[in-house]
């Protein structure tokens, strides 16, 4: 069996109660739950949370709840430890658990199709430990990263280096797009994935999506983008067709 786990903690500081923020009449956390339920390869959905409001909204659409212990609450806890706890919880109640899809509780940029695609790769390629949705960097390439020094002035991030202004000359770089992590349940124990995603295993297969087809909520601009995503399903279909 494949299970979906949504992680959604209470106590957000960027936007109050963002995991249950009403978006087009629905609490945010319900979007990833419904996406997982729409996937043909998912057998059950669990939500790991320390918030009763989040738990209530999740139960409303048929998700199972994983109560977080006090030591896994708060914004200073390593997300990987929360994921490991949740996987072990589901594994204890589902004897035939094979793979896990991990979703964030405050994103709308996923659907059953992309979840099934990730799980299909795991089924077809036994040498792969996990699958991650990513987007390719362009103007936001790490070669162009900057930092502000102690004098309040801009300088090259990480120290001096010579870089061309032609971004086409850079080696390709990718970022996790806050969409889908799909992994074999054993990888949370081996803990040898690429940092900081150590629960993903050594062999991580990418699904490259256009920017921005993955985004969670940190501020009002993210709420705006998410609202547009939900309100414009035809545009969402067109963007999906741009996938590599």
Provide the pairing of β-strand 154-156 with 146-148.
antiparallel
Contact (CB, 8 A) for 93 and 16:
no
Q: What is the pLDDT of residue 211?
A: 84
**pLDDT tens for residues 57-100?**
999 999 999 999 999 988 789 999 999 999 999 999 998 999 99
DSSP secondary-structure letter at 211?
T
Average pLDDT over residues 173-193: 96
Average pLDDT, the chain: 94
**pLDDT tens for residues 42-52?**
999 999 999 99
Going from N- to C-terminal start, the domains of the chain cover 2-136+173-240, 138-171
**pLDDT tens for residues 118-154?**
999 999 999 999 999 999 999 999 999 999 999 999 9
The residues that bridge with 103 in the sheet, in sequence order, are 6
Please state which of the ranges 6-10, 63-67, 126-130, 157-161 shows the lowest mean pLDDT. 157-161
Contact (CB, 8 A) for 82 and 181:
no
- Side-chain-side CA neighbours of 91 within 13 Å: the count stands at 15
Crossing angle of helices 30-38 and 52-60, in 10° steps, is 30
CATH code of domain 2-136+173-240:
3.90.550.10
Q: What is the pLDDT of residue 127?
A: 98
Alpha carbon distance 203, 88 (integer Å): 21
């Amino acid at each position: 069996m494949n299970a979906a786990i949504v992680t959604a903690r209470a106590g957000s500081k960027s936007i109050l109660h963002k995991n249950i923020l009403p978006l087009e009449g629905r609490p945010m956390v319900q979007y990833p739950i419904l996406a997982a339920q729409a996937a043909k390869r998912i057998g059950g959905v669990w939500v790991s949370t320390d918030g009763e409001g989040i738990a209530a909204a999740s139960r409303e659409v048929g998700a199972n709840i994983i109560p977080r212990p006090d030591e896994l609450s708060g914004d200073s806890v390593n997300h990987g430890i929360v994921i490991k706890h949740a996987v072990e919880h589901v594994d204890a109640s589902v004897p035939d658990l094979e793979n896990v899809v991990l979703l964030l509780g405050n994103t709308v940029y996923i659907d059953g199709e992309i979840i099934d695609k990730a799980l299909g790769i795991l089924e077809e390629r036994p040498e792969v430990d996990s699958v991650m949705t990513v987007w390719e960097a362009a103007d936001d390439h790490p070669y162009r990263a900057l930092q502000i020094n102690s004098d309040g002035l801009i300088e090259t991030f990480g120290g001096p280096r010579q870089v061309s202004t032609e971004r086409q000359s850079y080696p390709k770089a990718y970022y996790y797009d806050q969409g889908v992590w799909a992994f074999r349940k054993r990888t949370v124990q081996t803990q040898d994935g690429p940092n900081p995603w150590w629960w993903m295993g050594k062999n991580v297969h990418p699904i490259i999506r256009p920017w921005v087809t993955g985004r969670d909520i940190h501020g009002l601009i993210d709420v705006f983008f998410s609202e547009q995503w939900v309100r414009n399903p035809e545009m969402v279909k067109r963007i999906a067709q741009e996938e590599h």
